[in-house]
Every structure is written in structure tokens, then in C-alpha cells.
Structure 1
Amino acid sequence: MQLIKGTVEKLIKKYRTNNPFEIASQRNILVLFERLGDILGYFHTYKRIPMIHINSDLNEREQRFVCAHELGHSILHRHVNTPFLRKNTLFSIDRIEREANQFALELLIPDQVIYEFQNTNMTIYELVATYGVPQDLAHLKRKQTGKPYIFNTKTEHIFPLRR
């Protein structure tokens, strides 16, 4: 997890943004919006052209998360063909998907965002919803320790760490 956090921090510093669409553009990754039915999005490379496909039926926040998730695949798993793995091998892609989710979470809600909201009455679940991150990923931010914030485990409110 720390490796992913470090990778994301370097990306944000290099591109001076945490906007996944902007980072994809600066990395010459083509982002395409199309009707994909039940599929939220996917990443692939065709003739050395990296592409992120995003379901055009999603709302803007969902598209932002999907773009961040697929950007994670483009950086962390560039040469992994997940459709091939799903269809032709026994290799579990769960780890790959968890890593892409962690990448998206770190990109869309860097620690600085947590710091900014620590004195509000907002829960971690409300915070992730504000940034378009699925609720079930809120626990990943909550698990992080050694940060200048803590979470009230009953209410999930963010509080500054008292020293």
C-alpha cells in the first residue's frame, strides 16, 4: 500500500494535479467515453496507444473514479491483460483490482484532503462520497495509521490527532 501511495504522491507532484483526466492527458493516454452496458470502464493498449474507456452512462463523479482506477491500471499493471487472465487462467485478478482501487483512492483523496476536513463534522463516508469514491473503499483511508488525524470508530468522524 505504501508503494502505491508513494507512486501517487510522485504523480501528483510531477503533474501538479490529482485530476485523473489531466494526468491521463499529460501521459498521452486517450480517454474515450462510450456506452459499455454493465462495464464501468477498462484500460488497454492498441498499437502502442494507451486508452482508457469509460462508460458514458455514469455520472461525472463516477467517471472521475473510473478514470482514476483505470489510470492506476495503466501505471501499475501496464502489461497485464486482465480480460485474458479472467478467461484463460486461474490467476486471481483480485489483487490487481484492489491495487487499482487503492491507487484511485490515494489520487482522488490524498492525505491533504483529509487534513482539510479534519475540523469539520464530516464522516469519512461523507468525504469519500463527496469525491465520488465508492463507500466500501472508505475503510482503506480509515485504516491508515500514523497520520495527523484519527477516526472516531463509532461515528467515523474525522478528528485531528491530539499530541
Structure 2
Amino acid sequence: MEEIVSKLVKRHKTNCPFTIARTLGIHIQFHDLGTNTRGVYYRKLRRRLIVIHNQLSAEWQRFVCAHELGHDRLHRGMSRFFLEEHSYFNPGKFERQANLFAVKLLTSFDEAQSGETSEQICARNGIPVEMHQFY
């Protein structure tokens, strides 16, 4: 995963998930997704789409975009909806991997200072508190 993130950042010269997604041809839309869904990655034929809940804070929107970009890079051909409806496989593993991908991407230009905690690094990079555990 570190190699995938490193190549993305090096190739696009940024760790901004919105810029990377758009450069990769992934369309980004903002819609009301209700109270339980922050974002969705969807692939139909050759069109890729990230939908982000429009009521989220800017910090969460950025994280969700990075998370959904992680699904695009790590889980091609996999659909959470298909997994939940037609298999006994738990999609939680893929969600944790996408969270880890997002944290690695968003902290890719940053190095820990001496004596600095992981929470401080995550806060400095705009990672929501709930996701600090993935650093």
C-alpha cells in the first residue's frame, strides 16, 4: 500500500485526493447521502464515480475522497454492495484498508517531529479524530 501511495503522490506531485481523483478520470459529486453514509465509490462500465455526502465538514469531505480513492486503487472490481448481498465475506476489511490508505495519502508529505504524537500529526494534516487510529 505504501508503494501505491508513494507512486500516486510522486506522479501527481500532490497528496490532494480531489486533484488525484480528477486527474485519474474519476468524477466527484456531492449529494445528500442520508445520516449513515459519508461516501460511495461506484464503477459502472468504464466510468468511475466518487459521491461524497454534501453535509460533511471540509475535513471529512477530504478524508472521504481519499478513502474512496483507496477503494479505486486497492479494490478494483470489488463492490461492497455485491459482497454484502451475495456473499458471506465481511467488507469491513476493505473499509479498514481504505481508511489506512486515506491516512497514508493525507500524511504523505509530512514527517513526525521529535516528541510529536500520532494524534498531533493527524490533526496537523486534517485527519478526523475518529481516523487517528489508522496512522
Aligned to 2:77: 79
Q: Of the candidates 13, 16, 21, which is equivalent to residue 24 of structure 1?
A: 21
Inter-partner Cα distance in structure 2 for 1:140 and 1:57: 24
Aligned to 2:65: 67
Aligned to 2:132: 138
Q: Tell which structure's C-alpha radius of gyration is larger.
A: 1
- Name structure 1 gaps, 5 residues minimum: 142-163
Aligned to 2:103: 105
Query: Do structure 1's residue 88 and structure 2's residue 79 form an aligned pair?
Result: no
Aligned to 1:40: 38
Amino acid corresponding to residue 138 of structure 1 in structure 2: H
Aligned to 1:8: 5
**Is the 1:42–1:54 Cα contact (8 Å) retained in structure 2?**
yes
What is the RMSD of the two structures over their aligned residues, measured on CA atoms? 1.7
Amino acid corresponding to residue 26 of structure 1 in structure 2: T
Q: TM-score, normalised by structure 2?
A: 0.90
Aligned to 1:146: none
Deviation by residue 1:36-78 (Cα, 9 ceiling, x = unmatched): 0121001011231100010000010100000000000011112
Aligned to 1:126: 120
Q: Which runs of 4+ in 1 moved over 4 A?
A: none
Q: TM-score, normalised by structure 1?
A: 0.76
Bigger mean CA offset, 16-25 vs 79-88: 79-88
Amino acid corresponding to residue 132 of structure 2 in structure 1: A
Identity of aligned residues (%): 37
Instruction: Say which SS state the counterpart of residue 111 (structure 2) adopts.
Output: helix
- Name structure 2 gaps, 5 residues minimum: none
Number of matched pairs: 134
